[in-house]
Amino acid sequence: MNEEGMNIVGKRNDHGVVVMSMPVKIGFRRLPLLIFALLLLPLCACAAENPEIDEKEKAVGDVVNEETSPSQSNGAASQIPEETAEKAGTLPIVALQNHEAETEAKKESIGNYTLVKGEKYPICREFLENLNYFKGKGETPMAYDLRIDSQFKNFRTLNWEEMPIDEEFLKNLFDDRYPSQPNTRDARWKHFYSDFLGEHKLPFKELSLHKAPVQIFRDGRKSFVLRFIRNNVPKKAGEVTDELFILADNLRIDPESFPFSQGAGQSGGDLFYYDGKIRNFLTMFDSYDPVSKRRPAIVRLYDIIEYKESAGLFRQEICVYTYE
């Protein structure tokens, strides 16, 4: 090395070894750069002697890309966590089968209706199909609202219309219902008025009224059926809290509709047509069974029969169903 510096040249021989020579002239100010270059040369030589490192790194990158790819190289679907798959609507097959089995089990836990009277009548058999059609599709058993699916063409429900709660109308209803029992009528009216209409009426008791046109008399007179329902009244086993009354065109009880229009025990539930003839549907519940966790019920269907000799409407039982 002289005062101006020294010349250094690095060459690689046939075996990849770097050989140093110094024919090139370099200044002292560039010496730090020269030292840095000398430190890098062994690293370069190491990389050249181990080309498999690049291949390993490439292989690792391929594996990472393959694991994060939406589809795998063999075409198999990637695994989706069950909770995520359920939200996406793509439950794994086993989970889907379990889900369907649980759904069926829940349906089976809902009781069935059984026809116990009236097997020989088509109306009884068809209505049984209708009752069990709603299994798992809502409230079961049917409470006081009659439901008939559209596939049962022989049945037709009434067109009910809600009525306002009018005190004069209700007072006339009590007068017409107990025409020959003034003392009973007045006592019943006072009790009813106190519970449902008075200043201190019970807050949990409500009343709803609905009427519908109905063809019930053979002479074709215009009639309405009134559905009188006491809502939110605690129900006892076997008790009917809704009543049906047949009204004349002036919306007073038709006197020829007795005993049907004498209320509880004589009528209740709902009316419907079967093959053009009016019928009566009624559900009565038993006490809740804590073992089966069900409330057994009995459903009855009645014919409405008009007796001209006695000028009255009577119910005749034709079908009986149990629900357990």
Q: For tokens 């966790």, what's the residue? A: 293
Same domain for 44 and 155, yes or no, is no
Q: Is residue 25 part of a domain?
A: yes
Q: Which candidate, 120, 130, 121, 119, places its Cα nearest to that of 155?
A: 130
Same domain for 30 and 170, yes or no, is no
Q: Is residue 4 part of a domain?
A: no
Same domain for 226 and 313, yes or no, is yes
pLDDT in tens, 100-136: 555 444 444 457 889 999 999 999 999 999 998 887 6
E-strand ranges in the chain read 9-12, 18-21, 113-117, 155-157, 161-163, 206-214, 223-231, 242-247, 270-274, 277-285, 297-307, 312-323
Cα(239)–Cα(39) distance, rounded to whole angstroms?
Answer: 102
Report whether 8 contacts 22 (CB < 8 A).
yes
Q: Is residue 107 part of a domain?
A: no
* Total domain count, the chain: 2
Q: Is residue 79 part of a domain?
A: no
Cα(313)–Cα(324) distance, rounded to whole angstroms?
Answer: 32
Q: Is residue 73 part of a domain?
A: no
Q: Is residue 93 part of a domain?
A: no
Same domain for 125 and 263, yes or no, is yes
**Mean pLDDT confidence for 265-284:** 91
Same domain for 292 and 197, yes or no, is yes
User: What φ, ψ does residue 144 adopt, rounded to 5°?
Assistant: -110, 0
pLDDT, mean over the chain: 73
Cα(111)–Cα(294) distance, rounded to whole angstroms?
Answer: 8
Q: Is residue 64 part of a domain?
A: no
**Mean pLDDT confidence for 166-179:** 92
Same domain for 123 and 42, yes or no, is no
pLDDT-based confidence at residue 253 (cuts at 50, 70, 90): very high
Among the ranges given (79-83, 127-131, 276-280), the one the predictor scored with the smallest mean pLDDT: 79-83
Same domain for 33 and 167, yes or no, is no
Pairing status of strand 242-247 against strand 270-274: unpaired
Beta-bridged to residue 312, according to DSSP, are 307
pLDDT-based confidence at residue 156 (cuts at 50, 70, 90): very high
Same domain for 133 and 245, yes or no, is yes
| DSSP per position, 277-317 | EEEEEEEEE---BTTTTB--EEEEEEEEEEETTTTEEEEEE
Same domain for 142 and 27, yes or no, is no
Cα(48)–Cα(54) distance, rounded to whole angstroms?
Answer: 10
pLDDT at 137 > cutoff 70: no
Same domain for 180 and 45, yes or no, is no
pLDDT in tens, 10-48: 555 555 545 455 444 455 556 555 565 555 555 554 444
Q: Is residue 56 part of a domain?
A: no
Q: Which candidate, 223, 224, 265, places its Cα nearest to that of 243?
A: 265
Same domain for 166 and 289, yes or no, is yes
Same domain for 39 and 169, yes or no, is no
Cα(223)–Cα(212) distance, rounded to whole angstroms?
Answer: 9
**Mean pLDDT confidence for 249-253:** 95
Give the SS3 label for residue 5.
Answer: strand
Cα(77)–Cα(66) distance, rounded to whole angstroms?
Answer: 13
Instruction: Residue 188: give the domain boundaries.
Output: 113-323
